[in-house]
Amino acid sequence: LQALVARVLASHIAIVAAAGGDSAAPVYPAAYPGVWSVGAVDALGRPSGPATSWLVAPGVELWVPGSGYVSG
C-alpha cells in the first residue's frame, strides 16, 4: 500500500483517505505523508471521534448506496 501511495503521489494525484475512528493508532493510507486525512462529523458538525484532522466531512448516521444506514 505504501508503494502504491508513493507512486500515485509522485504522479501529482491527490489522495484523500479516512482518518479513522476512535483509535489513537495511525490509520493507513491516511497516515502516510502527503495524503489528505479526513475526519468524520455528525449532522451538527461534532467530530465522531478524537479530533485528528483539519479536514472533515459528514460521516455519522448516513445512508449510503448498497449498504443502507451507517451509524458511526
Prediction pTM value: 0.70
Output the CA angle 66-70-26, nearest 5 degrees: 110
Q: Cβ contacts of residue 37 below 8 Å, gap of 6+?
A: 17, 18, 19, 30, 31, 52, 53, 55
Owner of C-alpha cell 451507517: 70
**pLDDT tens digits for range 2-55:** 999 999 999 999 999 988 766 667 889 999 999 998 888 888 888 877 766 778
SS3 of 3-52: HHHHHHHHCCCCCEEECCCCCCCCCCCCCCCCCEEEEEECCCCCECCCCC
